[in-house]
């Protein structure tokens, strides 16, 4: 039997969204932990990240022509939590989280060396959607560790998980 639930409970019913570390160039480059990240188009390849307007990163993503989406693995949970709780307004998150800046090929945003996947995006659109702005970028370069294993990727929705059984 199903019971009526609130909109909050409906959103809470999702199991988990991929955790990424968004990077953007600025006087002090910044990193923000994001669970709002989605593919918006295959051709052209578009990826979007949703950022709340009160975040320090929001202004940086707005001002910048590009950003990077870096996929961490489960061993990077501490760094994920630091980048998802401290503000780039007050701290250098590369330093605070012990992460290494790497120069990107096509964009000004720095990449995170420790992340097994780095995706370089040129911003093509900003979409206001309720309490988040979606910054959508075209993938212009990307790299992946040969040993990358999706099973090591973090998912988040209230709790951190990794993917489970292969169903098909």
Ligand X SMILES: Cc1cc2nc3c(=O)[nH]c(=O)nc-3n(C[C@H](O)[C@H](O)[C@H](O)COP(=O)(O)O)c2cc1C
Binding site for ligand X (CB under 6 A): 19, 30, 32-36, 50-52, 55-57, 81, 84-89, 156
Tell me: cis bond preceding 44? Omega within 30 of 0 counts.
Answer: yes
Which tokens is 93 given?
A: 């998150």
Q: Measured between alpha carbons, how far is 96 from 93 in angstroms, rounded to an integer?
A: 5
| CA–CA dist 68, 21 (Å, integer) | 8
The residue among 95 and 146 lying less far from ligand X, judged by its C-beta, is: 95
> CB of 1: closest distance to ligand X in angstroms?
33
How far apart are CB 3 and ligand X at their closest, in Å?
Answer: 29
Q: Of 52 and 164, which CB lies nearer to ligand X in the complex structure?
A: 52
Cβ closer to ligand X: 62 or 106? 62
CB nearer to ligand X: give 111 or 135: 135
Residue 6, Ramachandran bin (φ over 0: left; ψ between -120 and 50: alpha; else beta): beta
Using CB atoms within 10 Å of the CB of residue 71, give its burial: 0 to 12 exposed, 13 to 18 middle, 19+ buried: buried
Closest separation in Å from C-beta 43 to ligand X: 25
Shortest distance in whole angstroms from residue 71 CB to ligand X: 13
């Amino acid at each position: 039997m199903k019971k009526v639930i609130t909109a909050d409970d409906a959103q809470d019913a999702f199991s988990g969204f991929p955790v990424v570390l968004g990077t953007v160039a600025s006087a002090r480059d910044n990193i923000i932990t994001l669970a709002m990240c989605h593919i918006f188009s295959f051709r052209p390849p578009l990826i979007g990240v949703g950022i709340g307007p009160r975040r320090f990163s929001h202004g940086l993503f707005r001002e910048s022509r590009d950003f990077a989406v870096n996929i961490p693995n489960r061993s990077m949970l501490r760094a994920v939590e630091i980048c998802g709780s401290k503000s780039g307004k007050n701290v250098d998150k590369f330093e605070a989280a012990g992460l290494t800046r790497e120069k990107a090929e096509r964009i000004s945003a720095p990449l995170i060396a420790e992340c097994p996947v780095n995706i370089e995006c040129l911003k093509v659109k900003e979409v206001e959607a309720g309490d988040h702005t979606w910054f959508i970028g075209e993938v212009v370069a990307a790299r992946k560790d040969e040993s990358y294993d999706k099973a090591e990727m973090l998912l988040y929705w209230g709790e951190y998980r990794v993917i489970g059984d292969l169903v098909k």
